[in-house]
């Protein structure tokens, strides 16, 4: 049983990113339809978000629906969008109560109006919340995000508003969906797959990676705290050489 304690400062990431995987496999093992897995996964979103807010993390980014997920069967995509819209509506008051600021990242184009309206309403309602920033990646792809940022820079140069010689990493970063947030220092992937799936390609350059075989619906506070323990034990060198005991 994990104690509901607040770990020491410095032992937690500032920004946790999670690739939420395994909803369908979880449902299959239970003899349930895939939608039941996604519904169970939505409950895990609430649990993990609440715990991250309680612990004082600055940001939590969840990979909810990738730009590649449109390849899934149409009925599953429709069900996912309906679930997303309903969940955003249902959780808005809870976000405000817990001081959570909501932010959607990913391309708007292609998302149903109902989802966009619900996410926009959440962003507006939680705009001044002082705690955790919850980023929900919807219709998101890391390559698409970088392409959009490059296109924005090119347009600003063409319009004469930006000197091309002034373009550096900070200029590109300022045009990413996650601008203003610290880069994730911990990336967790559930359900055991060893890949990053086009997620936050720029931002996770120095993130610590933790992969668990636990599927997303079964991922609870115990698994979350276990990932934080792994993170706390990592030596983060950022390309430098670790200091030796004798200096």
Residue 176, domain member (yes or no) = no
pLDDT at 1: 36
Q: What is the mean pLDDT of residues 98-117?
A: 98
Decide if 83 is inside a domain: yes
Domains in the chain, number: 1
Reduce the DSSP state of residue 63 to 3 states and report it.
strand
- The reply to whether 165 falls in a domain is no
HSE toward the beta carbon, residue 24, CA cutoff 13 A: 5
Q: Which domain holds residue 220?
A: 15-145+184-233
Is 178 a member of any domain? no
User: Of 21, 177, 185, 218, which residue is the catalytic one?
Assistant: 21
98 flagged as catalytic: no
DSSP 8-state code for residue 181: S
pTM of the model: 0.92
- Nearest one of 201, 63, 54, 57 to 133, comparing CA atoms: 57
Strands, sheet with 101-105, edge to edge from the N-terminal-most edge strand: 101-105, 133-140, 59-66, 15-19, 186-189, 208-211
User: Tens digits of per-residue pLDDT, 189-234?
Assistant: 999 999 999 999 999 999 999 999 999 999 999 999 999 999 999 9
94 has a pLDDT exceeding 70: yes
- Averaged pLDDT for residues 86-104: 98
Domain membership of residue 177 (yes or no) is: no
| CATH code of the domain containing 192 | 3.40.1180.10
Task: Examine residue 57 and state whether it is found in any structural domain, yes or no.
Answer: yes
Average pLDDT, whole number, for the chain?
Answer: 94
Residue from 46, 69, 117, 246 carrying the catalytic annotation? 69
71 domain-assigned: yes
23 is catalytic: no
Answer yes or no: is pLDDT of 247 > 60.
no
Q: What local confidence, expressed as pLDDT, does residue 235 receive?
A: 80
Expressed in angstroms, the distance from the first to the final Cα of the chain is: 40
Do the domain assignments include residue 154?
A: no
pLDDT of residue 4 exceeding 70: no
Q: pLDDT per residue over 23-32, tens digit each? A: 999 999 999 9
């Amino acid at each position: 049983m994990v104690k509901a304690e607040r770990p020491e400062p410095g032992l937690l990431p500032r920004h946790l990113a999670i690739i939420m995987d395994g909803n369908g496999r979880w449902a299959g093992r239970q003899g349930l339809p895939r939608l039941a897995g996604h519904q169970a996964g939505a409950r895990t979103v609430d649990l993990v978000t609440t715990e991250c807010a309680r612990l004082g993390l600055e940001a939590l980014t969840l990979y909810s629906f990738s730009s590649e997920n449109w390849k899934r069967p149409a009925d599953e995509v429709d069900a996912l969008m309906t679930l997303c819209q309903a969940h955003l509506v249902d959780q808005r008051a809870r976000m405000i109560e817990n001081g959570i600021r909501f932010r959607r990242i990913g391309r708007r184009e292609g998302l149903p109006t109902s989802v966009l309206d619900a996410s926009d309403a959440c962003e507006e309602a939680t705009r001044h919340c002082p705690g955790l920033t919850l980023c929900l990646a919807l219709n998101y792809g890391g390559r698409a995000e970088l392409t959009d940022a490059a296109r924005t820079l090119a347009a600003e140069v063409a319009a004469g508003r930006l000197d091309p010689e002034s373009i550096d990493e900070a200029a590109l970063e300022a045009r990413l969906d996650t601008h203003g947030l610290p880069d994730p220092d911990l990336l967790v992937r559930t359900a055991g797959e060893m890949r990053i799936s086009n997620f936050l390609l720029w931002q996770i350059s120095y993130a610590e990676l933790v992969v668990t075989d636990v599927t997303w619906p079964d991922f609870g506070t115990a698994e979350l705290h276990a990932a934080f323990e792994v993170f706390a034990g990592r030596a983060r060198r950022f390309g430098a050489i670790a200091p030796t005991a004798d200096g």
